Amino acid sequence: MRVFLTGASGFIGSAVIEELKAAGHEVLGLARNDANAAKLEAAGVAVHRGDLSEPKTLAAGAAACDGTVHCAFIHDFSQYVENIAIDRRAVEAMLAALEGSGKPFILTSGTLMADPGREATEEDGASADGPGAARGATELVVEDYARRGVRAMIVRLPQVHDREKHGLVTYAIEVAREKGVSAYVGDGANRWAAAHVSDVARLYRLALEKGQAGARYHAVGESGVPMRDVAEAVGRRLGVPAASITPEEAPAHFGFLAMFAGRDAPTSSRLTQERLGWTPTGPGLVEDLEPVAA
Ligand SMILES: NC(=O)c1ccc[n+]([C@@H]2O[C@H](COP(=O)([O-])OP(=O)(O)OC[C@H]3O[C@@H](n4cnc5c(N)ncnc54)[C@H](OP(=O)(O)O)[C@@H]3O)[C@@H](O)[C@H]2O)c1
């Protein structure tokens, strides 16, 4: 398959490139500047120039390929809602270009957006309120096109990690370094799901190859890691204490991350594992957060 990959220069896109190439697929990677174009070419990836804010450029890339994996996103959380709107327009343009083609399209979404407090499953539709609502609206666009002749699917990501990057925990590490304390909210019993980046990349490939139109897949290796365990591991990594803060203190401490920090979002991937024959095998989030042995 020739696959159009947006976000090809990013953390997850880079892993998806390796996974797709190893399975014999060709990749056309989106790059919005010369530096990333050169990086992709050096990795043996054909380059498509474009930008999320110019939807036609992405539609052209999608139309030129047998399948599309959408991993690009503008991670400026001070403009979160605006960036989601930009993303949605780009997704609409790509899907419109694929209407009636039967080709696969994978939207990247997130697990933290589900309703808090109970284990979310693939059967749960897009969240209608809370921090997930804006991005959840893009899931609805994908579900619409799944009924209009596109094998359109949703892959929901938890905190995706390796030894260097850890999803939103990467930002929590920056806050802990700056403030000299690794904080959790309340008793820190609230849980975030997680997955190793190699498992996530394999899931994208399996969905591309055999996923069903309209399906939601959860790339979840660990269904719920307590945030106190995460904060303590961050503390060990940085050599700073872990400590509880109140929900009222969270905005001043965490900044934009406060909207997620106290959220309890355990997430199942049981149906994904059954439906795609996917078995996560990578290390856990806390293991990947531990200090590098001297
Ligand atoms: N990592 C996680 O734990 C996690 C968890 C949940 C959801 N997600 C979602 O998964 C997707 C991939 O995340 P990631 O961790 O790989 O992010 P990342 O490392 O920040 O990569 C983002 C990608 O988007 C591209 N991009 C940014 N602005 C763009 C624009 N205006 N036009 C075109 N491309 C643009 C970047 O290109 P440049 O190199 O040119 O900036 C980069 O390739 C995103 O949708 C993210 O929100 C990730």
Q: Is the CB of 10 under 6 A from ligand 1?
A: yes
Q: Is the CB of 157 under 6 A from ligand 1?
A: yes
Categorise residue 252: left if φ over 0, alpha if ψ from -120 to 50, beta otherwise. Answer: alpha
Q: What is the pLDDT of residues 99-120, one digit of tens each?
A: 999 999 999 999 876 666 789 9
pLDDT computed for residue 129 by the predictor: 73
Name the percent of the chain lying above pLDDT 70. 97
Distance in Å, CA 84 to ligand 1 centroid: 12
Q: Whose CA is nearest to atom 12 of ligand 1?
A: 71
What mean pLDDT value characterizes the chain?
95
**Alpha-carbon gap, residue 152 to 13, rounded angstroms:** 18
Distance in Å, CA 85 to ligand 1 centroid: 15
Distance in Å, CA 56 to ligand 1 centroid: 19
pLDDT computed for residue 77 by the predictor: 83
Q: Is the CB of 26 under 6 A from ligand 1?
A: no
pLDDT greater at residue 131 or residue 111: 111
What are residue 27's DSSP bridge partners? 3
Q: Which CA distances in Å does 223 have to 159, 270, 290?
A: 11, 10, 19
**Alpha-carbon gap, residue 285 to 16, rounded angstroms:** 19
Given ligand 1 and candidates 86, 157, 173, 220, which is best to mutate, with the most ligand atoms within 8 Å of its CB? 157
